[in-house]
């Protein structure tokens, strides 16, 4: 299915459950390679990136069985160490498999990763971390080959990141779990997905301290154990649907999502005029409250046009770059003038041209998008250039008069189980067309 048709200006009403987290489950699947046994993940989203990571694991010798929203991974027979180019080119997060292969087998190789076209996203921090742990890196004709320098394998060390890269932090964690001695990661990313990965690894028998902070300490262990772990709800999917109700208006409830992982986006939705309530074990708190539990639900209500916002993207707990495009889309139909400064990926504004086709008034001033709200937007034929940009076009279409056709929606399927299913359940006029 490659295209989506949206009929706009229909309010959203009702409640939906949020899928498991894309950005959390992929490094967990890679981590399954570290254990010579069975690893089970539940609440796994049925998305293209999970299917891609499954094929990578199977190529390496890991037996994978999917049953409903669970995946069973048996890595006892893993022997291959080369990740096929066809998978690495299509999904950037495949690069973190290198750390797991080095920890388990002492070597690994792959080409430079691909993924969405949202900027350079160099992997120098990944390679520097692996070198610090004792890997020898060789780069020839676009192929990265990594081997441990001694038969003893990787060795614990101190790693200092100049920038809190999520992928590089995951890479270092996976490589350090089976390394000899203690590894300390300073300047680590603090995104909720990193905390989930640490909890998951500890559940497998790893010893990781400092979860949720910028300093992680890993005591290397000799082996891991069979385990089962539930993936948390996807905060980016939840934030996207929050942006959708801001664009369309209405009253929705999102279930199975931890509100604390979205504290700043929810505060900004309130600032833009929404009513936001977060329920935790029978308690109802405002989005600016404290004391969140692990799971909960979020209710978002919006009447009238939303107000303008000024926001800047940045590493957690700052505003997530993955929600920049969906927020831009609803702000294109808001009152007044909004400003978004992109400080993570230089090409996250790739969706601006498509939103302009829908009548949006957006101009780019270096790293800042200036958005003059217009309502309603107008239906048009547009094209998704990347995962979050495609979701943003869906959000914009909800505030557009008439019909919008969004092409190349395979990007959206990389991270959303079924955006049409979820939004149509809330009353949106949306559906897949074509094959």
pLDDT in tens, 290-328: 333 357 999 999 999 999 999 999 999 999 999 999 999
Contact 210, 190 (CB under 8 A): no
What CA–CA distance (Å, rounded) separates 121 from 84?
A: 20
Q: Which helix (H) or strand (E) holds 210?
A: none
Q: Does 422 appear as a known binding residue?
A: no
What amino acid positions are annotated as catalytic residues? 116
Phi first, then psi, for residue 241 (nearest 5°) are: -70, -25
The pTM score is 0.94
Per DSSP bridges, beta strands 3-7 and 403-407 are antiparallel
- End-to-end alpha carbon distance in the chain: 4
**Beta bridge mates, 130:** none
d(CA 322, CA 372): 21
Residue 269 labeled ligand binder:
no
Q: d(Cα 346, Cα 329) in Å, to the nearest integer? A: 18
Question: Coil, strand or helix: which one is 216?
Answer: strand
**Does 125 show up as a binding residue in the annotation?**
yes
How far CA 97 is from CA of 257, 280, 396, 435, in Å, comes to 27, 36, 36, 32
Half-sphere exposure of 15 (CA within 13 A, CB side): 10
Could you give all domains of the chain from N- to C-terminal order, each with its CATH number? 3-18+233-433 (3.65.10.10), 22-230 (3.65.10.10)
Residue-wise pLDDT tens for the chain (435 aa)?
A: 589 999 999 999 999 999 999 999 999 999 999 999 999 999 999 999 999 999 999 999 999 999 999 999 999 999 999 998 888 888 878 899 999 999 999 999 998 775 444 344 478 999 999 999 999 999 888 889 999 988 889 999 999 999 999 999 999 999 999 999 999 999 999 999 999 999 999 999 999 999 999 999 999 999 999 999 999 999 999 999 999 999 999 999 999 999 999 999 999 999 999 999 998 654 444 444 433 335 799 999 999 999 999 999 999 999 999 999 999 999 999 999 999 999 997 677 989 999 999 999 999 999 999 999 999 999 999 999 999 999 999 999 999 999 999 999 999 999 999 999 999 999 999 999 975
Separation between Cα atoms, residue 228 and residue 42, nearest integer Å: 8
| Cβ pair 332, 399 in contact under 8 A | yes
Measured at the CA of 404, the angle between CA 399 and CA 410, to 5 degrees, comes to: 110
**What integer pLDDT is reported at residue 115 of this predicted model?**
43
- pLDDT at position 348, please? 73
- The structure tokens listed for 383 are 């094209």
Instruction: Tell me: is residue 124 an annotated ligand-binding position.
Output: yes
CA dihedral 54, 55, 56, 57 (to 10 degrees): 50
Tens digits of per-residue pLDDT, 113-165? 754 443 444 789 999 999 999 999 998 888 899 999 888 899 999 999 999 99
Beta carbons of 324 and 388 less than 8 angstroms apart? yes
Number of neighbouring beta carbons within 10 Å of residue 210 = 15
Instruction: Flag whether 92 is marked binding.
Output: yes
**226 annotated as belonging to a binding site for a ligand:** no
Is 122 annotated in a binding site? The answer is: yes
- Of 424, 354, 363, 435, nearest in space to 388 by CA: 354
C-alpha torsion angle, residues 128, 88, 196, 328 (rounded to 10)? 100
Instruction: Return the pLDDT at 230.
Output: 97
| Distance between CA atoms of residues 67 and 417, nearest Å | 16
The span from the CA of 195 to the CA of 198, in Å, is 5
Tokens 């948390």 belong to 232
CA pair distance 330, 308, nearest whole angstrom = 10
β-bridge partners, 5: 405, 431
Residue 203, annotated as binding a ligand: no
């Amino acid at each position: 299915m490659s295209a989506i048709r949206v009929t706009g200006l229909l309010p959203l009403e009702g409640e939906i459950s949020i899928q498991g987290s894309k950005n959390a489950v992929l490094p967990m699947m890679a981590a399954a390679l570290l254990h010579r046994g069975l690893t089970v993940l539940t609440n796994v989203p049925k998305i293209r990136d999970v299917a891609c990571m499954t094929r990578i694991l199977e190529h390496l010798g890991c037996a994978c069985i999917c049953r409903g929203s669970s995946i069973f991974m048996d890595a006892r027979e893993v022997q291959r160490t080369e990740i096929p180019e066809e998978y690495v080119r299509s999904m950037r997060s495949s690069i973190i498999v290198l750390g797991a292969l080095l920890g388990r087998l002492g070597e690994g190789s792959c080409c430079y990763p691909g993924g969405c076209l949202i900027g350079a996203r160099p992997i120098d921090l990944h390679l520097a971390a692996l070198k610090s742990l004792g890997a020898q890196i060789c780069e020839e004709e676009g192929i990265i080959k990594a081997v441990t320098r001694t038969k003893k394998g990787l060795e614990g060390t101190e790693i200092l990141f100049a920038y809190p890269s999520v992928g590089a932090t995951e890479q270092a964690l996976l490589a350090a779990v089976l390394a000899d001695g203690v590894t300390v990661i300073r300047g680590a990313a603090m995104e909720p997905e990193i905390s989930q990965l640490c909890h998951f690894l500890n559940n497998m028998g790893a010893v990781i301290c400092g979860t949720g902070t910028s300093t992680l300490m890993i005591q290397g262990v000799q082996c891991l154990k069979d385990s089962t772990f539930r993936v948390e709800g996807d905060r980016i999917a939840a934030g996207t649907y929050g942006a959708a109700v801001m664009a369309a208006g209405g009253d929705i409830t999102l279930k199975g999502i931890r509100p604390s992982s979205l504290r700043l986006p929810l505060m900004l939705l309130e600032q833009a005029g929404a009513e936001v309530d977060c329920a935790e074990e029978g308690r109802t708190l405002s989005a600016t409250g404290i004391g969140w539990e692990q799971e909960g639900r979020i209710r978002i209500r919006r009447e009238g046009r939303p107000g303008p916002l000024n926001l800047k993207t940045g590493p957690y707990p700052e505003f997530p770059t993955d929600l920049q495009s969906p927020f831009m889309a609803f702000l294109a139909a808001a009152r007044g003038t909004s400003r978004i400064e992109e400080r993570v990926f230089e090409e996250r504004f790739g969706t601006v041209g498509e939103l302009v086709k829908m009548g949006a008034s957006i101009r780019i001033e270096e790293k800042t998008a200036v958005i003059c709200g217009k309502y309603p937007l107008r239906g048009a034929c547009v094209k998704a250039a990347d995962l979050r940009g495609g979701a943003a076009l869906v959000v914009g279409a909800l505030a557009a008069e008439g019909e919008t056709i969004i092409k190349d929606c395979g990007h959206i399927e990389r991270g959303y189980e079924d955006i049409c299913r979820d939004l149509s359940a809330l009353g949106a006029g949306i559906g897949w067309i074509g094959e």
